[in-house]
Each structure stands twice: as structure tokens, then as C-alpha cells.
A and B are shown apart, each in its own frame.
Chain A
Amino acid sequence: MEEVAPEYDVVVLGTGLTECVLSGVFSVKGKKVLHIDRNDHYGAEAASVNLESLFKKHGNYTKGEEPWKKYGRANDWNIDLVPKLLMSNGELTNILVSTDVTRYLEFKQIAGSYVQQGSGPKATVAKVPDGPAEALRSPLMGIFEKRRAKKFLEFVGSYKAEDPATHGGLSLDRCTMKEVYDKYGLEANTRDFIGHSMALYSTDDYINTPGVAKEAITRIRLYVNSMARYGKSPYIYPLYGLGELPQGFARLSAIYGGTYMLNTDVDEILWENGKAVGIKATMKERIEDGEGMKFETKCKTILADPSYFPGKVRVTGHLLKAVCILNHPVASTDNSDSCQLIIPQSQVGRKHDIYIAVVSSAHNVCPKGYYIAIVSTIAEGTSNHHLELQPGFDRLGRIEEKFMGQPIPLYEPLESGQNDNVYISKSYDATSHFETTTDDIRGVYRRAAGEELVVEGLRDGQNLVTDE
């Protein structure tokens, strides 16, 4: 096995999406990157796993049995650990395009975006309106409300941050979203689906916060524009699962000279005057005998996911998540092969929304005839987490298998990293998309590189494609 170089500019620990994008960007910008993961696969918390791994991870079967065998080849399953979708006009899409990582991936639309109104037996599920015209057809509102919603969405559609004439006479930098809703006379239920299934806020905290109006309007615009891009829903999804994303960015990093080592444990961080200056690590395959390959290398900067520095992060909340295997589409979703269904918190007496993300064999994540539905929310209690997800399970009908682990702690770094050279990312949060992930990517980059991340033109530096 080849010697590891004695020094790198950047050592990256963990191959989650955030780390792989950053690794790729640093490599493209000419930094010498060593990228390590303790696991034998890419993706860390953002990996996609096969059905056998999922059963084994949850241990929800009798020893000696192999329940995954009745679901076809285990390797035909790619089940996401993170329940998220890409906004087709979102920042991750922008980064994918700017770096040409799209070359390694193929995307498909998510077939529909739905929202629940009411609860229990009276609950209805309807398409989220995708703009003023659609609002007029939506069963979510009565005829008068439809017109008000249409007016509101027209206002959002013509909004331009830099042109006060489009701000509807409101000072959007300072006012609350409540003031905006009030101006259009929108009813509580309408505010609910706009705020939760279009602006994609998972709590109602945004409504009364001064100055959030602008952000909320920008988020609705992102939804509407993402929707307009391909037509069926604002979401796209990579064939073979979200685990393809970190792999694609790792490949980008490698092409620009990044060195990759899986199966590698970090034994020690080397410190000098309170600053990280290197690592000691051991690369060893699980099945391999002996000591493995021990090495030490210096570095100027360490980037890591929270699991590599448990003492430097705090818990901000817990994600509840259940992976459900179905053999039918979800009711009231037009037999869609995939969808997002949001149950706004107020509809079911909660503080946090419940999200359901459904993908299927159309996305090469499971054999024909199956659907993978992931139900998730933020934990509000300390027990009975199953009941917190129940309104989501109620939407799914018959469930073949359900995998629900312990609440997943969500971490954020205690410090910026500027004092100790250790720049830590946040956990993948409960939002249904990657917009907060890309915010974190930008944040880590800003802290570690001391400049804003500009992805536009990243691919222009070097032409990697040779078409004859």
C-alpha cells in the first residue's frame, strides 16, 4: 500500500454530503485534500443502505431468520438514512450543475407534493397549489379564499427583493409574515399550507418573527419556481438514492487530486497550542487480519462531521424517523410512484410538522412493486415517540415493514473552528430538503476558507470533458 503524504492542506473526516461537497470544492480550488471515513462505505449519515443492513441495524427480527430475503435481492434496495429531497431550483442543484457532478448522476422528478388538512378520519389530502392558477382549482380552499390566495401568490410571484414597488406597500425587512397574511386576508388553514407545505417551515415560529416576511416570501418563490421547472413537484431525486450524492462529490474531489481512504479510524488528533495540526490514523478493512496501516500526517485545517468530535458539539433536538416498506402507493396521492406529503403541525395538534417522503422502484431504490415511505418529525416528548409519528403512519395504509430506531440527536458545533482549526458541520436536520444543508456547507466554507463560496464557474477552470 502506498505511503500517505506527510502533509495535506485539508483533512476531511466523514464522507457525508456536506463533507464531500466541501472536499470537492477545496480540491477544485487546488488544495491538497485527504478524505477519511471510518466506515467501509461512502455517505456517513447521508448514505443509502440496503435492506439487509437496515434489518441488521435495527435488529427487529429473530436471530437465524433472514427476513430481507422475501423482498428480493438485498442490493436492489437503497434506503436513505436522511429523509430529504432536492428542490429542483435549490442551491444543491446549483452546486451539482456548477461542478458538473450531474455527469455522474441521473435525476427523476418526485411525482407529487401533497398536504393534509384536518386530522383523524376527517383528514383530507390534497395537492399543494403550485401557483396562482392552481390556487383557483385547489380543494384546500373555498371559492373566496381561492381568490385571495391567488392574489397573494401573484404578489409573491412578482416580488423582487431590490424593487420596493413590488413589496405591496409593506416593509418586508421588518414586518412579520402575519402582517402579510393579514393584508391578503388569508384564513388560518391557508396560512398553514402556505407556510408549511410551500415555505416549508416546520413550526409556526416564523409567523410572528419581525423581518422573516422576506425570507418566507423567498422560500415560497423557491417552491413555486422549483415546481415550475419540471412540472410535477418541486422535488427531484437521484436514481439509486441520496447516497449517490456524496459519492458524486467524492469523485469530483478525487478527480482534482483528493485522496480517499475508507475503513480508516482516526486514533488521535495532533494539537499544537490548542490548534489541530494533524492526525494519527489506521486504515484497516474489517475482514483484514493484523494491525492495518498506521500513518500520521500534518494538516492546516480539519473539516469533520459531528461524530468525529463529540466533545465539540451540542444537541439541538432529536429527529424521529421511521422507514416503512409498502407494497402500494400512498392513498390520495393519485397513485404516484413518489411524493412528499406534509402534515402541518397545527392540523394534528403538534408543534412540528410530520413529513412523509415516498420513493419507489421508479427511482431504482427498491424492486418493482415496493414503495419506501419515510415518516419523520422532531421529537416533542421524551417517550411514546411512536405516537408522535402516528398521524403519518395513518396515511400509509398497510405497512409491510417498519424500521423505527431511537430518536436521532441533531448536533451543531459549539465553536466556529477558527480557534482550533477544527471546522465541524451540523447534522442533517428535519427539513424535507437540502437548503439548510447547503447553508451549512457555505457556513463551514466561509469559516474555514475565510471567503464566500462562489460555485458559479467552478467547472470553468478546467475542461474535463473531451468530446471528439
Chain B
Amino acid sequence: MAARNPQGGRPGASNSRFAQFKLVLLGESAVGKSSLVLRFVKDQFDDYRESTIGAAFLTQTIALDESTTVKFEIWDTAGQERYKSLAPMYYRNANCAVVVYDITQASSLDKAKAWVKELQRQANENIIIALAGNKLDLVTDSPDKRAIPTADAEQYAKDSGLLFFETSAKTSENVKELFTAIAKKLPLDQAGPRSMRASATRPGVDLRPEAHSTQGAGGCNC
């Protein structure tokens, strides 16, 4: 179970800082969102993966330096983007987003741009957005497969204030770099996927049976 509550810098305990952030993936179906997550979290790649099962909620930590650790709580779309049916819950309180397109599919960048717009309209205003042009391995051998010139996407990312990488979930090229760049850009002092929520001081109730003990005087212990 991922930690429910924000864990910002731990004052006093030591010099180490540990921060947790919600990261969401967005982009057209089949551009490689789930594959990028799988590569980042488990260092695996599967050519024939079709289903998103198992990759819908993962966590991964990155050590930025000896004293700073960033933990990503990663939400994959679970395929709900396929027919434009992502729920608002999905990008609610996201601290960062990776918007993915496929460098061999021209239309996928348009989709990515639409998602960036949507995020800038709906998500919290400090959200860090990274643009990832995925399937870089496909153009290494046959450059004519490339549909989107690096410079075009890079210019768009620059104009829109996005981090930008061309990646390959297959070869792992630039995958670690992508997530590390996001981690570096996150405001570590206001950490926590839920820090934007109502009251960090009085966190919500934990529903797990093992988590509570306030069996009051009137409780019937059943």
C-alpha cells in the first residue's frame, strides 16, 4: 500500500528528504504509456503486451542524491483513454504528468497537444508536464519511419514550458532520464500527492480494518 499521507521533508530527523508525488500518464492509445511505466518501474519490456492489467498503480523511487529521494505514485490510464473516457479522478491532484506520443505517428502529437491543453485547463496550476516522443528505437534503424521531427516537438515543448525527451521503452533509452528530470523539477518542499487536498494537518480517515483502534465505549466489538 502506498503511503496515504503526504510525507514531505522530515524535519529534524536527519538531513535526508523524502517526497512523494502523483504522476499520471496521458496520450493516445498504443503510444507506449504503459510500456514506459513498466520500463521505469520494473525495467522490463514486452512486445506483445496488450492489456494494462497490473500496471495501473505502481510506485517507484528515484534517489536524486544521497539525501534526497523522490517517490512517484504512478497512475496509468488503465485503457480508459481509448474511447476518451478518462475520469476526472485520474488527473485530480496530479503533481506531474508524462504526455506521450509516438514519433512514428504524426497524429499522436496532436493528441498529446490536446492533452497538454486539457491539463493546463483542469489540473493544478503547478503541475510539471513532460512530453515524451516514444518508440525512438524504431527510427534508429530506419530513419524514414520518423513522422515527427525532433526539432518540431522540441520547439512546441519549449513554447509550452514542458520538459522534453525522445524515449524508447523498448531499449530504455532516455526513460530514466525522463523521470529523473521530472523529479528534479518538482518542488520538494511542498511534497505529497495529496498536499493540494483540503487539510494536510488533519488527514482523512483510513478505512482499512487494521488501521483503526478507536473502538469507543459504546462499540459492540463485532
Chain A residues in the interface with B (C-beta under 8 A): 1-2, 41-42, 75, 88, 93, 96-97, 102-104, 106-109, 130-134, 153, 156-160, 221, 224-225, 227-231, 236, 239-240, 244, 247-248, 250-251, 254-257, 259-264, 283, 285, 361-364, 462, 464-468
Contact = CB atoms under 8 A, between A and B. Distances in A.
A132 B197 contact: no
B84 A156 contact: no
A462 B54 contact: yes
B33 interface: no
A360 to B, nearest CB: 10
B42 interface: yes
Contacts of A248: 89
A230 B203 CA distance: 13
B1 A131 contact: no
Contacts of A240: 89, 92
B207 A97 contact: yes
Q: Among A103, A133, A363, which residue has the most Cβ atoms of chain B within 10 A?
A: A103
A76 to B, nearest CB: 12
A1 B205 contact: no
A260 B207 contact: no
A103 B220 CA distance: 28
B219 A255 contact: no
B150 interface: no
A352 B214 CA distance: 34
B220 A106 contact: no
Given A239-B197, A250-B80, A255-B57, 18 more contacts: A2-B82, A130-B216, A157-B219, A157-B220, A228-B214, A230-B205, A239-B198, A255-B56, A256-B53, A257-B51, A257-B53, A257-B79, A260-B83, A261-B83, A285-B84, A363-B198, A467-B59, A468-B59
B60 interface: yes
B218 A130 contact: yes
Contacts, number: 155
Q: Among A156, A256, A462, which residue has the most Cβ atoms of chain B within 10 A?
A: A256
Contact of A1 (B83, B199, B203): B83
Contacts of B58: 465-466
Q: Is the interface of B mostly helix, strand, loop or mixed?
A: loop
A89 B2 CA distance: 23
A225 B2 contact: no
B204 A239 contact: yes
Interface of B: 1-2, 4, 29, 41-42, 51-54, 56-61, 78-80, 82-85, 87-90, 92, 122, 194, 197-199, 203-205, 207-209, 212, 214-220, 222
Contacts of B52: 254-255
A104 B60 CA distance: 17
6 contacts: A133-B217, A228-B219, A229-B212, A247-B88, A362-B199, A467-B2
A153 B196 CA distance: 42
Contact of B207 (A93, A256, A264): A93
A103 B2 contact: yes
Contacts of A247: 87-89
Contacts of A231: 214, 216
A263 B29 contact: no
B207 A108 contact: no
B206 to A, nearest CB: 8
Contacts of A285: 84
A468 B61 contact: yes
